[in-house]
Every structure is written in structure tokens, then in C-alpha cells.
Structure 1
């Protein structure tokens, strides 16, 4: 413990370093905001005559080059600014993670914006803050503005005379024009579709978001996108039929839009859309999961449909997603060291992995896990229950057997004959900063069932702050609702197994557990020795299994910035060279022209090559560094004579069930046959600032959100933690 305190003190930055860091972060934020506003302005101006008849022609003349051709303008306007923004965001997040974000002005601003963060209940959207509602309204306004501007300009040139020249009626011409504009507006949605699901993105943490909390934005945008693209496809087909151009549906033009590519892209999109609706997704998750991989065909045929030059408009978001997806692929190829488990009598298991001390993550973080012996393709997200500060060499997840996959895993881990389990992981992913934990005087944590898991990691983090760093921590109240008394054993997982903790009086925690389906205790829960025992399982990791380590090392954000910038530069160099010495001579030959499909395929191949080479180089360079640390960890691990015969984990000689739980038992009250009166409990707190966090079933989250948004108490600040897809 003393060594850890010394390490923390040595890593604490000086006031000069903090000042320089804050100044650099402020400058970086200013540049990012300017880039973002400029990008939004381009999106707003794109449908106007000013942009299309004045700005764009001038840019094409100024940027005309034999190296990039017409594509150079769209690269300059769309991918380049956003990728630069992502690189700057990496620097911003790295500085904040290394030196902290001590900025009182921003904290005061967050308090003033507190009213905008209050939850609202909106049918179809669920729990949303006023900020989210405002940004959604602005996004919809952008779509309406773009579509109305496109139509107003297009319809102004359609009259009986112009329609008659091409053998059409006015309404037919307007239908064809509207169908095209629906596709153009849908492309705006596609620009933003992939940002929320880029788990290792630097853009999300820059705006204070996490990938778990942003999945709902992906869902909203996906529904709008597919509505527009479906309307685009249906209107276009109707237009071809009424104008006797049905043969257009089978057209794959060499120099123009590929209709077949668009139809194939739409079919892939419709399959993903239909299986993503809540009812199908919840009942047939595997169908949803596998069908969603059609996004590859969706994007490939979309690019064939519109051409790579126009596809550059949506390229930045997909480029960052593709880079993140490849890094996740590289990480998932490595087996990790699963060293022990705790099996609870309520079909819950805690898996304990060996982790590199250099891997840090924040409370409420999650990771995706794959067990090949159950399914080689399925990946499932789980909340991390350990604290990277309190347990620097261990990472834990708690898994409740609810679905078929988790029940199989529970059965395998519980099997006495199992001495090894192959596991791969992706992550961890979570918030970069833990400032939100210290923002309030009191934290009320409301959980239902296994929703207690993220709060276990938070409590462990507070234990580290209070007992090790001697920081003042908020008063904690945990309200946990369970169905049966056997579920109460999950409370024994709050304290870690690796260290014997006796909590001091400075750590103020109150735990109220509610057993809703039993009116009286079946066990004496005041006596921990009378509880059903928690069984320990020890595994023998393979020599090839490694501790969980940061994918890109301790300076992962700087490495990510280097990968983004270097891969894009390599792509530009390769594309420019091939265009100048291969495509340009063909295009300027009177007898030949380089096809749009070939150009699109070539660009897609170059993008994949650039990302794969740079990401692989960075990943394997850091893997070598991680291997050195892993070998040091292995040298410290090994069979302990005093422990279990299968013990291969540090501190394995301790009997987990014998760890004292007196500190928590004295702070725990169990209520039987009733549900928590959440309104009364929260209104009893009179502190100036109370953080209310909830994780659990949808009904529970909505109930807590209604209480916090009722306006009856201004000191309640709501935050929902949800990991559901």
C-alpha cells in the first residue's frame, strides 16, 4: 500500500506542468471548436446555390491537381478537417488523462448548465437530457433545411416546358428530383452514423461521452437514415416505372451512378434495420448481431453507388470506425490470463483476469468478452467491477446467468473438471475522467439485480481515494433491489479479494438491500458465516495467455493520433501517385476512361491498406513492450504451497471466504417483502448537490428519472448507466 502511495505522489504533476497542460488543452479546444463550426457551416451551405455555383467551382479551380483530380476538393472539405479534429482530440484527452483537468471555470460552467442535464421522459427516445433534445432538434432542423433547400432550388427549374423536353409530366419530374434529394439528405445522416459506435474514439471523450452511452444516438440516426434511404429507393423505383425506365434498375454505369450498387446497399440496410427493432433485437439477439455485420456490404455498395468522390463526405466517421475496428481485431486475437473465479449460489460468477499495472480504466468501464468454446463469433459486453487503482494487477467482471450464452458460461466455470478457459477480450472502454464521482456531496446509487456491478467498481475506487490517497469522498448510499435473498451474496463482492481492508470512519457508506419476493429472511444475514458459501475456482493459464494490457501502451491516445495522421498521409500519397501515373493518363486518352467502380474499389483498398499497416505497426510495437511487463508478472506468479493446488494467482493463498466483511455488514440493512420508496429516500437528502446514479431494468431507470425531473428537488443530479444494446 505504501509503495502505491509513493507511486501516486511521484506521478502527481507540478503546478507549472498543470498550468502548461491547461493552457495547451484550452488552445486545442479552441482549434477543435473552430474546425467543428466550420464543418457544420459546410454541411449547412452544401445545398445552397452559393456553395454549388460559387464556392465549389472556385475550389475546384484552385485545387485542380493531376494527383487528386476532382476528389481532392471533397477530401479537403470533409475528411481532412474531421481527421485533424480527431488527432487534436487525442492530444486533448491525453493531456487530461495525464495531468488532470483542474479547471474551475469549466466546473462552474457545468453547474450553470445543470438544468440542461436534467432528464426528460420522451416516448420513443426514453431517458434524455435537455441538451440531447436540443441537439436532436438541431440535427433534425439541419435535415429539414437541407431537404427544403434542395427541393426549392430543384423545383424552381421544373416547369411544363422543361418536363416536356424529356418526355415527362411535371409531377413525374418533381418525383424524380425529390427522390434524388432524399438520398442526398440521407447522406448527412450517414456522416454521423459511425461516431457513436467507435468505442476507442477520441471524439466521444472530447465531448464528455462514452461509447456505451452513445449507442442510443447511433440508433436514432440509423432509424432516420434508413427512413430517408428507403424513401429514396422507393420513390426512385416508382419514378422509373411511371416513366417507362424500369431497365434503369439493372444499370451499372461505368462513369455515372451505379443503380445496382444502390439497390444492393439498400437491401443490406433494410435487413439490418428490420432486425434492429427492439422486439426482434431482444428476442433474437443473435439474429440482430449477425445481421448487423452486413454494414460492410452496405458501405461497399453505397460507395459503388455514389462514387468515391461523393462518398468522401461520409468518409471521416467510417474511417475512424474502421481504424478502431481493426485495432479491436488485433487485440481480440490474443488470449488473456483468466486466473480465478468466484461462484455465487445465485447463478452469478466473478471472473478475475491478470492485468498489466500499466492498464488504467475508470469506474463504470466495460469490456467485450468472447469465449470460443461457447461461440467463436459472439461478443458480449460486461461491466468491470474492479478498480485499476485499488487492484493494479487484477481485472474483474461479474456475470449473471440470464441468457443462454451467460448460462453456458456459468455452467462451465462452475464445473469442477474445468482447469482452463480460453477467453479473448476487447477493451476496456469507459469514461476518461472520474471527476463526476467527486462533483457531489452525496451519491445515491440505485441498482436493480446485476445493475449493481458498476457501483461495485465505484465503491472500490472511493475506497482507494479515501484509504490510500486520504481524499475526502462523498457520502455514499447504495440502494440495491433483488428478487431473492440468495442474490444478497453479490454484496460480498464489493470488497476485493486481493487485500484485507478494514474501512476507516472517514469512508461513509450506507447499503440498503431490498428483497422484493420474500417477506422474511431464509438465512441469518446479520451473520456472514451463515450465508451460502462463495466457491472459489482456480485456473491454470496457458503460457501463451497474457495479462490484459493497453492495446497501444500507456500513451495510447498519442499513438492513436499518430495512427490516424500517418495512415491518412500514406493513403493520400498512394492515391496521389496512382492517380497521377495510372488514372490520369487513362482519363485523358480519347478512347478510354477509368471507370467509377474501379476508382472506388482502388480507393477502398488503399484506405484498408493504410489503416492495416500503420495500426499493425503501432500495435505490435506496443505488444513487445507489454510482453516484457507480462514476463515480469509471470515471474512473480506460480503455485503457492500454502494455497490451493491449482493456485496460479497472486495472493491465492488467502481464503477468500474468510476475509472480514464486518465494515460493510454494519453499514448494511436488508428489507424484505418491499420495494424501495425512492422518492422518499432521495428527498430526505438535504445536501446542496446530490448525484443520483441508476443502473438496472428500464422501468427502474425511468422511475428514478421521473423523480429527478419532477422539479420538487433542485439538488438532484441524474445520471443513468445503461449497457443494453
Structure 2
């Protein structure tokens, strides 16, 4: 229920209307299927023998055909990125493509179970009608429909179980490999109806295996997507610098031929030496104005750990460092260039000599569009990043900084609020140079920075803060002019103040981080929009990839 409840954490009519339309179409297709198979003359004899279990089984199969035809479109990211820049984006919430993919998946599971249990009833009736014929077990596990059906059911259930958030976080590799069982599911579905267990009155079973007609469009689109991935990944790509940050976070700078991106986009990375087939998404922390690609990777799973070790990083077990400093200060652990660009947003720390082993080859697919691209479409933008969720906003802030210092044209954006919420104080060092540069150059207070520390400080750290945190000086934790707040933001107060300061204004709220915090922000947007009287509207946008 939690998944479906989160679908309604939206503050715009667009997503809700699209969801209602999709649910209506599901119900309509199922109802039309029931009416058709209840009254059609094609299955009069079979309907007389099997009754409603046949009707419901065939109607649910019709819904399955439509859902399976749609389920691949949301994961065609190149196609989605192109569509989100068209007027269709005003009607269809393309940024929720993964949510729609999950919806289709759950619908496939539900109607597959309905279809399966109805056929169990059909098999029982066939055995009862002909006791000397095939057994119930034969129909279920030996006959063509029964065998292919159970293979498909096993593949589907395995995909659904391993796609749950807890499994993905613990073992992304399990999710990645089992999700490719969709090939087994599609293959089984293609021939499933061709066995013609339930024959029409004419006795002819031509055109029964018609599933391919439904998935051919999305299948071709998905095949093109995979071919584009192979083509883009073959462009020359070189890792130029690796920087190890506190809290087991690694910054990777890369150069790639034929590269063009927008602020806030994301990419997929593959390291063949770690895994030939796994592609993992990362938001860009570099801006379009820079001459290199950069990402910040939090080491939280088997793949990221193996990749970080291959890059030359020395990882620290969080359990062993509890209560102490998590890592040393940022330092370059591997580099083939002394500098990747003229940018001043370089990581602090000393440069280590290049290690004897070469840096691994990586393949990059993308970039792909996401919600953060739309920051410049609002008059006021609120950027909220929690932990490593701050990464897409590093790209956005860099781009804002470049545009402010070298404006290329007019922009609707006139005020930015940046909220960074972190549990560990060491996290604030990830983009310290960027935030300092913004504060030093931002004479018009265009960007307002607010950092929040939710974790505890030990006694030595508290003493250091008390001794060095003087009013008007740099913050003792972040080194910024903006003070660090302790605890979580009071979003109701924050939004009410913004509504007062920016009357009759469209404010875009962009979030990347834990789902619970995202749900709170979305609800606060809805609440403020319904209570404000000055015409200010908050529009919630969340990163989904």
C-alpha cells in the first residue's frame, strides 16, 4: 500500500489526472473484455462448459496485452528525454516514467494472478467433464498453456520480488540480472496463446498467438534504445581524476568525445572490469560550461565498492569509524592530468602521485533529462538535497554561477534557495569550494545557502564549534558565511516565509533524497498552496531515475 499511497503525493493536477486516466482505461478494457467474451458467439460451447472463469481469464489476458505493450516505453530513456522537451510534457508527467513502469508491472502481476487462478478453475472443470482425459496436473504443468504459463509466472514473481527497494539497496546486481527475465516472460507470452487449449466453436485456432502485435512497437523502441546505448558507450572515454571524499564518497572526473549535457541531467556508467552488463545511474555534478564530466559516487553496494577499489580508493568501514572522523580530508587518489579544466571548483587536499596501475575503462550512456533541468523555468527555485542527493544540484548551482558571471541571455530565474541536509559534517566538504565561490561572487544575494546537520557532534567537535563559531565569521563546520543549522528544517515555516517574500510567484521545489522527506515536502507544497492567499504556488519536482 505504501507504493500506491505515494502516488498521490503530488501537488499538480497533471500526474493525478494521468493516473486516473490510466486506471480508467484499465477498468474499461477489462469491462469491455468481459462484455465481449460473455456475449460473443465465437466461444458459445466453451462458455457453456467453463462459465465465468473463461470470461474473466480472457478479459484479464486482454488487459495484460495492453500493459505489456506499454511497460517498455517508460524505460526508453532517450525517447523520454526527447518527449519531455516537447509540449506533450505539459500533459504527460514524463519525469514519473519509472513510477509508470512500476504501475504497469504491478498491474501485470495482478491480472496475471487473476488469469492464472481462473485457468486453474477451467482445468478443474475440464477434468470433471472428462474424467478419463488428461489430469489436472497435466493441464497445469505439461500442456503448452500450463507449462508456458507457469514459467512466465515464475519469471514475473521473481522480477517483482527482486525489484523491491530493500532488495535493490542490498544487492542491486540481483535486481539487475533478474529483471532481464522479461525476455523469458515476453517469449512465453508470444507462444502462450498459440496452443489453443480452449478452442472456438469453429474449431479453427488461427491467429491465437497474437501477442507480438501488441509489443512490437515498444519492443522495437527498446531495441533502438539498447543500440543507442552501445553506440554512445563506444565514444572515447577517459577517467582523468579520482578524488576520495569523506563518508566513503568518490568524485570521478571524466572526459568524453562528442559530449553535450544540460544542468541536472544524469548518466549511466558501466565498468567492464567490474561487471560487463551492469549499468548504474549517477547524476552529473559538472555543469555544461565545464570541459569534463564529473559524478560523486557514494559507496553503498557491491558494485560501487568494487569500482571504488579499482579506482585506487581506500574505503573505511562505517561501523569501525562510528563516533570518530569517517575519513581523511578530500584527496586525489589517482590522476592522469594535473588539472581537468580551468574551473575553480576543484577539490581541496593534496595531490597524490599517480598510482602504478592504470585507471579502468568506463562506458557512459546519456545524458538523460530529469526534473532538475526545469530549474530555469521558474521565477524562484528551491533546491533540497539530502546526503548524496545533493549531487544534481551541484550541477545546477555551477551552471547558475556561470550564467550569473557570464550571462548568455535572459533567464526567468531570479532567486534560488539551496537546502543541504546531511547526517555527517564531513559531507559538507564535498562541494565546499563551489559553495564558497558562490558566496564570494553573489553580491546580490541571488543564491541563499542553508546547511542542516542532523547527526550528533562529539564533545571535541562541539567545543571546537563553540570556540570558533563567531558571529560575522566563517561557519566552524562548513567554512561558509552562511551558518549551519542543527536539526531538520521546519518546512511549514520555510514555505510560509517564501510565500510572504514572493507573492503571486511560481516557485519550483526540486528534491533529491529519501522518500520520506520527499513525501513531507510534497505534502507541504499541497498544504501551502491551499492555504496561501497571495497567489504563490509551489510546484514539487522529484528526481526519478
TM-score normalised per structure 1: 0.57
**1:680 equivalent among 493, 498, 505:** 493
SS at match of 2:252: strand
> Deviations for 1:418-457, whole angstroms, at most 9, x for unmatched residues?
54122222211115995x3233332121111111111111
Q: d(CA) in 2 for partners of 1:505 and 1:267?
A: 61
Structure 2 residue aligned with 1:139 = 22
Structure 1 residue aligned with 2:180 = 293
Q: d(CA) in 2 for partners of 1:423 and 1:529?
A: 38
C-alpha contact (below 8 Å) 1:211/1:430 kept by paired residues:
no
Q: What pairs up with 1:681-696 in 2 under 5 angstroms?
A: 681-685=494-498, 686-687=501-502, 688-689=504-505, 690-696=507-513
Q: d(CA) in 2 for partners of 1:148 and 1:700?
A: 39
Structure 2 residue aligned with 1:342 = 243
| 1:377 partnered with 2:277 | yes
Q: d(CA) in 2 for partners of 1:530 and 1:124?
A: 38
SS at match of 1:505: coil
| 1:707 partnered with 2:524 | yes
Cα distance change, pair 346–445 in 1 and its aligned pair in 2 (3 A): same
Structure 1 residue aligned with 2:153 = 266
C-alpha contact (below 8 Å) 2:240/2:254 kept by paired residues:
yes
Aligned residues: 456
> Deviations for 1:67-114, whole angstroms, at most 9, x for unmatched residues?
xxxxxxxxxxxxxxxxxxxxxxxxxxxxxxxxxxxxxxxxxxxxxxxx
Shift of 1:306: 4.2
C-alpha contact (below 8 Å) 2:249/2:296 kept by paired residues:
yes
C-alpha contact (below 8 Å) 1:350/1:397 kept by paired residues:
yes
C-alpha contact (below 8 Å) 2:95/2:371 kept by paired residues:
no
Shift of 1:136: 1.7
Q: d(CA) in 2 for partners of 1:529 and 1:512?
A: 11
Select the structure with the greater relative contact order (CA < 8 A; seq sep ≥ 6). Answer: 1
Shift of 1:529: 12
Q: What pairs up with 1:264-663 in 2 under 5 angstroms?
A: 264-306=151-193, 309-332=210-233, 336-356=237-257, 358-388=258-288, 390-391=289-290, 393-411=291-309, 412-414=311-313, 417=355, 418-431=357-370, 434=373, 436-469=374-407, 471=410, 473-492=413-432, 494=434, 503=441, 505-506=443-444, 508-518=446-456, 520=462, 522=464
Structure 2 residue aligned with 1:216 = 99
Q: d(CA) in 1 for partners of 2:380 and 2:40?
A: 63
Q: d(CA) in 1 for partners of 2:159 and 2:293?
A: 34
5+ residue gaps, structure 1: 1-120, 253-257, 533-660
C-alpha contact (below 8 Å) 1:205/1:431 kept by paired residues:
no
Q: d(CA) in 2 for partners of 1:420 and 1:324?
A: 28
C-alpha contact (below 8 Å) 2:170/2:301 kept by paired residues:
no
TM-score normalised per structure 2: 0.75
Shift of 1:226: 1.8
Cα distance change, pair 669–491 in 1 and its aligned pair in 2 (3 A): farther
Structure 2 residue aligned with 1:717 = 538
SS at match of 2:264: coil
Structure 2 residue aligned with 1:151 = 34
Structure 2 residue aligned with 1:125 = 7
Cα distance change, pair 211–298 in 1 and its aligned pair in 2 (3 A): farther
C-alpha contact (below 8 Å) 1:198/1:211 kept by paired residues:
no
> Deviations for 1:175-201, whole angstroms, at most 9, x for unmatched residues?
122212210111111121111111111
Shift of 1:408: 3.8
Cα distance change, pair 335–270 in 1 and its aligned pair in 2 (3 A): farther
C-alpha contact (below 8 Å) 1:158/1:174 kept by paired residues:
no
Shift of 1:148: 1.6
C-alpha contact (below 8 Å) 1:466/1:507 kept by paired residues:
no
C-alpha contact (below 8 Å) 1:369/1:424 kept by paired residues:
yes
Which structure carries more helix by proportion? Answer: 1
Q: What pairs up with 1:86-97 in 2 under 5 angstroms?
A: none
SS at match of 2:190: helix
Q: d(CA) in 2 for partners of 1:241 and 1:204?
A: 50
Shift of 1:241: 2.5
Structure 1 residue aligned with 2:72 = 194
SS at match of 1:511: strand
5+ residue gaps, structure 2: 128-133, 195-208, 315-332, 334-354
Shift of 1:214: 1.1
**1:184 equivalent among 62, 71, 83:** 62
**2:483 equivalent among 649, 652, 669:** 669
> Deviations for 1:476-499, whole angstroms, at most 9, x for unmatched residues?
1111111122111023253699xx
Q: d(CA) in 1 for partners of 2:469 and 2:367?
A: 35
C-alpha contact (below 8 Å) 2:189/2:211 kept by paired residues:
no
SS at match of 2:274: coil
> Deviations for 1:275-321, whole angstroms, at most 9, x for unmatched residues?
22334334443222210011112112222224664421232122111
SS at match of 2:418: strand
